[in-house]
Structure 1
């Protein structure tokens, strides 16, 4: 009897148990955690891309070498054009107007007119060559010094060499016509044909280099697209498993994008080395040829700016080609 009475009292004194909630427990991640995870995955894919590149050095090296050769051709043409422009910069790049003065022109009037021309905004420089200086230069250039020394009088007139400040044809013609109207002028010769030819040759070379660069950049894109497509096909089963467990397309394509970036970067570095080696081979003969012409011209090689441009441009091409490949093939791989 006492046992039956005391049992409820002991039960009432026992602590009540908490009710258990049914279902899964969810946890929230902060924005900082997601950012660290995102950056960590990028760092991991960057490292993995280099590991995969060196894991198959033959195929990876051949792909990078094809990219390098395709980039080295327009880069070498552009560098050659830059050196050519630097070489001809030693010549007078502006057209020159030769003003032959009357033999009866007085020296004071010529001096005053020369000062007036130098103050003209259309004129960059005026050089006065006296008849004596003209005769001396002609003797040295022609090799007829003994024959000319026997002449009783100097047949050469004084000359003003006028270098215009601009190169527009209409302005030059107007300036030459104004010089012809002077009473001190016997004749005026405007020599700009060679400048126009040089400008057209330079423009032709520039457009050829741009066209070649465009075509070979397209070739680089195709090479990277094909290489990344092969990588995707070789990892199809892995991609299917990742998508089955919830991996997004962005997560799946990230390693392939870094692979294309590495291909382009290595190809750009090799292209810079190829261009540098070509400049090294040609530097000696070019230096010897310039010495024969009395010039101090030396070939400029691809410096740090060229290296950064080639490596950065090639990496961008590799990334673009990889993006084109994964945009087409990753979305087509779906688990069934």
Structure 2
């Protein structure tokens, strides 16, 4: 036999021999960067979609945003009004002052010596003496009864010492007032700071009431958003079932509804700021005219950029919170069978 057998090593290198191929499913791993880009892309898509859905039904979306705006505009307007009121009274003389009405028989020289002693007191900042004649002239000018008082034979008004305190501590003021009452020259003592303290207490009461009203209306905003998002979930129930059947997670499903609540709150906050601005613009003219009648240059301050960001940000946060509450309750109940 002339045929030769080829070596095994040559057979293994022959192109006629094919290697076995692997068959079946192949597992591919996605990198962290791909997952992050996918996550951010889905967020951008949901942000655009929430605005598309908002303007697709402008009547229902606008009514929801308007309800949120009115609920937020009420406490915001009250808070702005209190701020303007405090600014208006800040220009008034709020320094503690004690009016000391002197005895009618007190001699002016003795009163002058007593005033000098009071000026040396460390608790006293200044002492002003008003004679009976000066007091009568001021009363005639302020009351407009100059002709009626001109025919009086005797001046019924006593001399007055206006004592301005160096501090504003209540205990020091009361101690100084008691010392002034103890003098034989004193007829009566009036602490003129009492109305300022009452005004401060009323302002604090108004501020707390505005905070309470804001809390109650914020709860109302949450209920409005929760109800609106619940209706959105029910309208898209079949879509949610399909997404969960193909493996969509709860986080994936809840994301568009969270952005919808955020959109409602943001638009409501912007409308609330606009409502407060229009209200200030309508009241600015009458308030300026009233201030001019009293010789004041007071002008209303409108809601600036701080109020804009505060209302928009707070409303957006309330909308997001309400949407989260609605989604956490209803999404988990929708499960494919």
Which bracket does the TM-score occupy, shorter chain normalised? 0.7 to 0.9
Alignment of 1:44-83 (within 5 A): 44-83=45-84
Distance change (3 Å), C-alpha of 1:148 and 1:217: same
Contact kept? 2:101, 2:158, Cα under 8 Å: no
Structure 1 range deviating more: 274-283 or 183-192: 183-192
- For 1:152 and 1:66, how far apart are their aligned partners in 2? 67
SS of the equivalent of 1:299 reads coil
TM-aligned CA deviation for residue 23 of structure 1: 4.4
TM-aligned CA deviation for residue 324 of structure 1: 0.5
TM-aligned CA deviation for residue 293 of structure 1: 2.3
- For 1:80 and 1:171, how far apart are their aligned partners in 2? 33
Aligned to 1:276: 277
Aligned to 1:105: 110
Structure 1 range deviating more: 302-311 or 198-207: 198-207
- For 1:219 and 1:63, how far apart are their aligned partners in 2? 12
TM-aligned CA deviation for residue 52 of structure 1: 1.4
Size of the aligned set, in residue pairs, is 330
SS of the equivalent of 2:110 reads coil
Is 1:228 matched up with 2:229?
yes
Is 1:14 matched up with 2:21?
no
TM-aligned CA deviation for residue 254 of structure 1: 0.9
Structure 1 range deviating more: 277-286 or 8-17: 8-17
TM-aligned CA deviation for residue 191 of structure 1: 3.2
TM-aligned CA deviation for residue 17 of structure 1: 4.9
- For 1:2 and 1:137, how far apart are their aligned partners in 2? 149
* Deviation sequence 1:45-80 (CA, Å, 0-9, x none): 112211211121111111111111111112112222
Aligned to 1:140: 141
Distance change (3 Å), C-alpha of 1:105 and 1:149: farther
- For 1:2 and 1:326, how far apart are their aligned partners in 2? 86
Give the superposed CA RMSD: 3.0
Contact kept? 1:95, 1:167, Cα under 8 Å: no
Alignment of 1:36-51 (within 5 A): 36-51=37-52
* Deviation sequence 1:93-138 (CA, Å, 0-9, x none): 4553113455342635523531x24x43xx5x42413426545433
TM-score (ref. length: structure 1): 0.85
TM-aligned CA deviation for residue 151 of structure 1: 6.7
Structure 1 range deviating more: 256-265 or 24-33: 24-33
SS of the equivalent of 1:98 reads strand
Distance change (3 Å), C-alpha of 1:31 and 1:185: farther
Structure 2, gaps ≥5 residues long: none
* Deviation sequence 1:276-319 (CA, Å, 0-9, x none): 11111111122222222222222211111111111111111100
Distance change (3 Å), C-alpha of 1:152 and 1:78: closer
Contact kept? 2:99, 2:160, Cα under 8 Å: no
Contact kept? 1:97, 1:191, Cα under 8 Å: yes
Distance change (3 Å), C-alpha of 1:106 and 1:208: closer
Distance change (3 Å), C-alpha of 1:12 and 1:325: closer
- For 1:87 and 1:284, how far apart are their aligned partners in 2? 16
Aligned to 1:287: 288
- For 1:250 and 1:74, how far apart are their aligned partners in 2? 34
Is 1:24 matched up with 2:25?
yes
Aligned to 2:126: 126
Distance change (3 Å), C-alpha of 1:105 and 1:29: farther
- For 2:13 and 2:152, how far apart are their aligned partners in 1? 144
TM-score (ref. length: structure 2): 0.85
- For 2:163 and 2:279, how far apart are their aligned partners in 1? 41
Match of 1:161 among 151, 163, 183: 163
Aligned to 2:211: 210
Contact kept? 2:99, 2:191, Cα under 8 Å: yes
SS of the equivalent of 2:279 reads helix
- For 2:166 and 2:236, how far apart are their aligned partners in 1? 67
Contact kept? 2:97, 2:164, Cα under 8 Å: yes
- For 1:180 and 1:74, how far apart are their aligned partners in 2? 46
